[in-house]
Amino acid sequence: MLPELMRIAGECSLCARKCGVDRTRGEEGYCKVPFEPVVYSYSPHHGEEPPLSGDRGSGTIFFSRCSMSCVYCQNWQFSQISSGEKVSCEELAGMMMELQDRGCHNINFVTPTHFTPAIVKALSIAYKKGLRLPLVYNTGGYDSPEVIKLLEGVVDIYLPDMRYASDEMAGEYSDAPGYVENNRAIVKEMYRQAGPLELSGGVAKKGVIIRLLVLPGNISGTVETLEFLADEIGRNIYLSVMSQYYPAHKACEYKGLSRRITAGEYARVVDKVHELGFEEGWIQPFEGGFDERFAGENI
């Protein structure tokens, strides 16, 4: 698998953008990063979905930069600016081991797409050191389907966003051409590999959770995405329906994104969840805000 990932990095098509640069020789594409991983931070995180955070936290490793450029990104300080520290694969493996030693329930790779070959290389080191935690692949959903297929048997839990149901919206607000077809293809592949979420003692061990961030004015097309999931994946998939949007980064420069969503907009999506028969997952309380640790409410 690693040789194949290195080949893909050598003519970079790790994401759907397919820049074609040779990342193995230090060439930088759209994401503007080297081959070696650049890490912004790593720590136990209690703000993920309940079965990921558990009571000891999800062992999150936040990677710098991104293959998308969402104008409303809440993590823009490191996703769209080259902040963070370049580390070796040995050092990345050490971070994983430290998070395991601190009692985390899993290792959660946040925005891993553009560093996938280096992550797999680091995992081979970490496994020799005794890493045994489930791995979470936490992505914006613009990954190459070829790469996702290669991760079968490596990733335990997939946590993809499904940001848009319209390529026009994806292009305008995330500079992600062809997002919808690509996103739906990788979600189907993820579900083929990992299936419905499996829990042990309330903690996730394997499976898929779909994140749906509701954007103002139906920009996200979340209802259409729910219909796709019901028709193509099944109603037993776990959903995380998020009401937390606020105008971060450059969002106030765009009329459609310059406000939070309304209670009615969120209720429309939640009503569709129930109408389509989804029963697993979480919604966020709308009125009065929500717990910053994202306790959520069961669907």
pLDDT tens figures, 109-150: 999 999 999 999 999 999 999 999 999 999 999 999 999 999
pLDDT of residue 173: 98
pLDDT at residue 247 tops 70: yes
pLDDT of residue 127: 97
Please choose, from the candidates 53, 160, 164, 57, the residue with its C-alpha nearest in 3D space to the C-alpha of residue 110: 160
Angle between helices 263-276 and 222-232 (to 10 degrees): 10
pLDDT of residue 291: 45
Mean pLDDT to the nearest integer, 240-265 = 95
18: its two tokens: 């397919």
Task: Tell me the β-bridge partners of 15.
Answer: 143
Taking a C-beta distance cutoff of 8 angstroms, is the pair 227, 268 a contact? Answer: no
Mean pLDDT to the nearest integer, 159-182 = 98
Mean pLDDT to the nearest integer, 72-96 = 92
Percent of the chain whose predicted confidence (pLDDT) is above 70: 96
pLDDT of residue 90: 97
- On whether the pTM is more than 0.85, the answer is yes
pLDDT at residue 38 tops 70: yes
pLDDT at residue 287 tops 70: no
CA torsion angle for 241, 244, 246, 248 (degrees, to 10)? -90
- Residues sharing a CB contact under 8 Å with residue 215, sequence separation 6 or more, in sequence order: 72, 222, 245, 257, 261
Mean pLDDT to the nearest integer, 68-87 = 90
- Residues sharing a CB contact under 8 Å with residue 34, sequence separation 6 or more, in sequence order: 23, 26, 28, 86
Most confident of 2-6, 187-191, 289-293: 187-191
Lowest-confidence pick of 22-36, 94-108, 180-194: 22-36
Count Cβ neighbours within 10 Å for each residue of 61-94 and write b for 16 or more, e otherwise. bbbbbbbbbbbbbebbebbbeeebeebebeebbb
pLDDT at residue 92 tops 90: yes
Q: Between the CA of residue 142 and those of 161, 178, 184, 192, 274, what are the distances in Å?
A: 9, 9, 10, 18, 28
**How far is Cα 284 from Cα 299, in angstroms, rounded to an integer?**
10
pLDDT at residue 47 tops 80: yes
Domains (range + CATH), the chain = 2-298 (3.20.20.70)
Percent of the chain whose predicted confidence (pLDDT) is above 90: 90
